[in-house]
Structures are given as structure tokens and as C-alpha cells.
Structure 1
């Protein structure tokens, strides 16, 4: 163990299936020995609103540890907790997530490709032997606490420009445009414009080797509400020849998605629809059909189709997005609810009232569990149900 180090601010949230309660309690005891409080939805006081208390506990945590069972890697009861951890980590780049799994392939797809996740293979931490080998648990605790403490120590240090852009891009893309104060937003946009003017040639040449800096700048400009600036960055990526697998196929999918976003923002709906469709197909083959990025591309293809008046195409994309969201994120996730709500509007226009009501009830239940009681999303769904007489 490291003799002296700062502890992460806040508590640790433990997510685990019921069959791993014994291992979770061992881990909780070891964390407590280091002066770190560990909380879990299973340890919420009786009589409390456990879902609300669990969501608040995750949002207030400095570190989330997700234990995946070798016998039940896709545990349904744990999926809601996972969705809440994803929401919290997307909105707070300082939150660390440690996933302990029997193998990387056993990690739920929604978590598997996230940059904020740190993986620990079962053969390293020996979950099945935790109760009989405290030293293994001690080594794991040391690693996860060091990771969180190092992150806390670095918070006051300004990172290099590319890291700043990458961090803000992740936060804004997943959470929305209200996350950066107006003054900072103006400064960042000015910085991006200077980057484009001073280094567009160099960035364009470098994109064939490493498109990420260009991609991140475009995504950040998009999230900050400047689609024209975003479009200028995406244009630098157009000469890249994806057929030569350069950039790698995974980055090709991200670039296709980003170009489509820019097209959607400037009302080029047919181009956006084609781009999102390509991105969805690429993500499905590379990352899996239930990966959040596959879901997002499929959903936005539906948005583009709907805005261009292609209601049948919109319904098809929304239906695929909903099936994949329910598989990968679960029924009680805000993205699942948003897709169900938009598909319900298509069904209503087609006269499929019963199907629309069923989808709106699904969305209402999800928002009731994971959104504030006075959220406009929940209110909007209830209003639609009332209009349909449900």
C-alpha cells in the first residue's frame, strides 16, 4: 500500500448483483479501513425512496465500482444502476468508474467503450476468492483509490488544450449545451476559431493520421451552438480515405456521425440521414447493436428522416433504436424514454393510437424513475397521454 496519499473527495458507490453481496461487503469493509465510505442501493434505509436515494448517491460519489458476476453478466436488476452511473459520469468528467468483470467481453456494452471506465479483469482481482484472500482486495482498493486520488490532485491543474477540448466535448455532447458558463463558452469558441484559422492546413493533413483533434473541435463547436464552425472542422476530414482503414474503422464511425450532426444542424436532412445510417451500421458491426453510439446514430437517423418528411423511414429507424436502447440501456433510461416518445408521435400520426399509448406509458415510467418530478420531459409525456385519452 502507498503510505500517504490523498483520498478521493466524497464516497464510493458500489453496484453489484445480489449473488455478489458477500464480495461487496468485503470491499466495503476494506474501503472503510481507509476512511472511505462505501454506499450501495442495497444499504439504503428501509422506507426511503430507494431509486431516488440511489440516484443521488451516485451523483454525489467520487468513484463508482461496478461488480459484474461471472454467472450473470447482464444482470437486469443492475441495469438501472448502470444507467444512472453512465448519466452521472457523462455529466461529471471527474467521476471515475471501476468495472470488475470476469472478462472484458462480459462488461455490459453500455460501459465497455466509455473512456471514463477503468477495467479490472477477474483473474487479476480474484472476485471469487475475495473473502478468503484479503490481500487481493487490498491491492484492488489501492489501485482504485490511487486512480481517484490522482484525479482529484490534478483537478486544479489546467490540462493541455487538446485534453481540455476532449473533456469539454465529452461533457457537452452527452449532457447538453447549458453546462459551460456563457463567458467561458465565448472564450472556447474564439479559441476554436483561432485554431481553425491558424492551423487548418496542418489539421487537415494530420487528420489522415489522427482525426481525433479535428473531430473533437468540431463536436465541441457543435455542442456550443455554432454549426457553421463545426462544419468547417468536419470539412477538414472529408479527404480522408476510409477504405484504407485510415483512420481506424471505429474513428470512421465517429467521423460519419459527426458529419451527420453538422448536416442536421444546417437542415441538410438527406445528407444527415445518409450519414447517420452509415454511422449506425458501422457502430453495430464494430461495437455491437446495443452500444449507446449505435443507438444514438439510429435515433438521429430517425430525427433526420422525420424532419425531411419521410415518416415511414423515421418509424423504422426509431423502432430499431428503441429495440437496441432497451437491450443495451434498459427500459428505465432517459434515452430509451426519448426514443419511445418520438416514435409514439409517429404512431399517433399514423393512427396507431394503442401502440402510441403503450410507448408513452413506457416513457412516463422511465422519466418518473430517473427524471425530476417537475421535469418538462415527464410533463410532456403525460400531456401526450392525456391528449390520447389515456
Structure 2
């Protein structure tokens, strides 16, 4: 950024532009005649610091949401065509309120994000798409002729960067799982299989059913891995229930193992193995809960919209590319879920996912019965 030769508004303009469907809205442009007295842009980091015995532990998630605040006045005689009061009213009505009105209108037609407000400041080299968070009028007896304003905006993206393109029927709600989460899940699955084999060798026949639960939970983790590695959207109608089932089974495994460690009066070696199972299940549960999440965006069905009757010949919307077809079959392909839980297993999981303190009030026999019911109700088939 070079030092400007002048900071006057006529040479370094600052203002707003409203766009709808990529076109400038009539009356939706305003250049501030007087530059704001104050302008600030906050760019936070998304991080969380945890204090531990060994020092500070940092969770870093990149750059946060930026905000821009401007504060100033519209002058007494803003320009030849309008005075300061009229310029203020245009800023408030034609920009701030008009943005809200256009988005409400657009929401009834489809995607409200097709209405955008662009804030441009040539002095500070800022050109961003913003959402107005607040607008304030301030009058003062020390400046009775001036309309003072304060405006706060949330920065959505740089105006030079186009929005993420959405192809017709692209799954905007489909979460894509990062490589780190996939590696952690694979590690949990491999470790779980080894722990299941160790549990079978250490336990007596009465308590060896715990190995069945460890095996079953590992098999569900494998199904989750298979779905994501096969390129299937992580949150469609088939895979989402599998991920949810895996999450619940992991939580039940963690709680039951924790509640059974002490009441069973086990040897230290067996306790150590069970603690490893507990730690493994807890880590897998956290991974499934935190990393395997949808991004919360909506589906875009724009490609479905087509002409009504003869409107395509009179300047209306053209015929849909999907006319005469059922595009939802491609959006939601018919597949069977590779994981099934019996009703009895689901009921047992609901009991096992209660608070551990509640589970610890139950007898070991009652807890082992929950383990048997869950283990017997897990059915995992290969991912197609």
C-alpha cells in the first residue's frame, strides 16, 4: 500500500454498492461526500488457549470473521443536489434498509445471497462484500447542524473473489472430512481391533462379551471409513445415520468400560487394557463428533427451475435441462445402509449413553447385560 497523494473524498472515494443477481440495483450506489472521521477493521484469529499443567495448549482454526466500523457525518452542505440531511437519509434508506428489503424479497424467490452489499474504500484499498450489522444516528447539541452516523459491517469475502460456484445439485450440505480426521479414525480402528484381540485373551468367558462390543464398534468405524474413502458424501441419506450410529456406539462403549473397570475387581493388566479401550473410544467419539459434521449450508435447486408455459419465448427463464427427468434420483441415489442396529440394541445404547455417574449406580450384571444387548444388535455389511 503506497502513501496517497491526497485523502480527499473526490480523489479517494469511499462508498457502497448494492448488487442483485450480479447487477447494480437502481439507486443502489452511494459515494460518501465526506470521508468518515473514523474507520477501523478488526481481523481476529479463531483460536482457543487451554491452560494445562505442562503449559499452554493452543487450538488454532485460522482467520476469523473480519468486521469494519465507520463513523462520521454527512456534512451540512453535502453536495449541490442535496444537503447533509438528505445525504444521510439516502445512506440509511437506499443502502442499509434497502439491503434488508431486497434480501427479504429474494428469499421468496430462492437464494437471498444473490443480494450483496459491496463496501469500497480506495484510500485503504478495501473492496469487500459485507453484511450491515448495525446503523446508528447520533445528534449532538455541540453539532446541531450535522447528522452523525456509525455503521458496523461484517466482512463476508473480498469483492474480487467470486462466491463458491454451486453446480446444479451439488451437495452444499455434504461435509467433506479432512485428511487428519480420516487418519485419526483409521488409527482408532486399527488400535481397536488389536485391543479386541487382547480382551479375548485376558478375560474369562463371562466377561469376554466385552470383546464383542469392541469388535462391533471397530466394524462400524470401518463402515464409516469405507463410505468416506469411496467418495460418498459424508452426510447424505445413507451415510449420515451410519456416522450417527458409530458416534452413539463409541459413546456407549466409553461409558460402559469406564463404569465396569472398578466393580469387576480385575487385575491391573486387565484394567490397563480396558483403560486403553476407554481412551480409544473417547478419541473416536470426539473425532466423529467434531470432524464429521455438515457445513450447515443449504442445497441449491436453481437448476430445477424452468420455464412456465411459453415464458421461455418471451424473455423468461429458459427450459430446465432436467425437463422430463427426475433429478432427485441422482441427488439421492438409492443405496442400503451398511450398518444396522436392532431396536433392542438402540434401546440399550440409549441407556448406556447416560451420564457415567448414573451408570455407576447400576450393578455389574446390569451393565454387562447392556453390553450383550448392544453387541448382539450390531450388523455391519461391506460398503458397496
- Fold shared, TM-score > 0.5 on shorter chain: no
Which structure has the highest helix share of the two? 1
TM-score normalized by the length of structure 2: 0.22
Which structure has the highest strand share of the two? 2
TM-score normalized by the length of structure 1: 0.21
Max Rg structure? 2
